[in-house]
Chains A and B, each alone.
Chain A
Amino acid sequence: MKFPYSKYFLGRPSRLFGSYVEYPTVNIDLINPSNGRIATNYIVLVDSGAAMCVFHANIAESLGIDVESVIPMPLRGVGPFPGKHFVHTIELVLGGHHTILEAGFSYDLNIPFGLLGQKGFFEKFRICFDLPKRDFEIVPKER
């Protein structure tokens, strides 16, 4: 599956970037496997620097997940410190491909995108970024 980079505005134009920045974002569906409730086309960042997948906690709330019903885990790097997140089982759909994973949900994620990280995503897909072509490829790994 090939996806183009998406352009987002910069509040302060940058000498390096100009008036916009391009990020490798994709739209995913998240499904609560216990009740089938779905959040459609949630924009997330494909982030090789993220150790695991982390999404906004209020996305989980919209799926009927009791976010704080599990033990909190520390969250570093993408929010106020010390942040925390709560790990729940979720079904992710990308380009028609379904996968079940353990993902963190956080109220401290102070960026606009959820994060597709190493654990749960990069271990299940092969990702190739091609910024010169302004696209990236995501291929499910055969099991």
Chain B
Amino acid sequence: MVINHDLTKVLTPKYAGKWVAMNEQQTKVVASAKSPKEVMEKAKRKGIKRPVITLVVKDYGFLFP
């Protein structure tokens, strides 16, 4: 399975503050929610067996000095 590691076009600011589930290839967001539990349940209802789970922020420059 080819996995996308360029997430700049997938984890976009419109999801900021939410937990999202991506498909296993990490090419698209399949669900978003306020909690990881809820997002995992939504993704599994859509047939994604092993969703990729993460919290999205509006700017990934959070570690910059």
Contacts and interface: CB of A to CB of B under 8 A. Distances in A.
Given A11-B13, A58-B36, A6 B55 contact: no
Interface string B43-65: 00000001111111111111110
Nearest to A10: B61
A99 B45 CA distance: 29
Chain B residues touching A, majority SS: loop
Contacts, number: 88
B48 to A, nearest CB: 9
Contacts of B52: 27, 40-41, 43
Contact of A20 (B8, B13, B56): B8
User: Which of B6, B52, B58, B60 is the most central at the interface, judged by chain A CB atoms within 10 Å of its CB?
Assistant: B60
B62 to A, nearest CB: 5
Interface residues of A, number: 30
A41 B8 contact: no
A20 B6 CA distance: 9
B5 A41 contact: no
B54 to A, nearest CB: 4
A9 B54 contact: no
A111 B62 contact: yes
A43 B22 CA distance: 11
Given A27-B52, A61-B37, A62-B37, A41 B24 contact: yes
Interface of A: 4-12, 14, 17, 19-21, 23, 27, 39-43, 56, 58-59, 61-62, 110-113
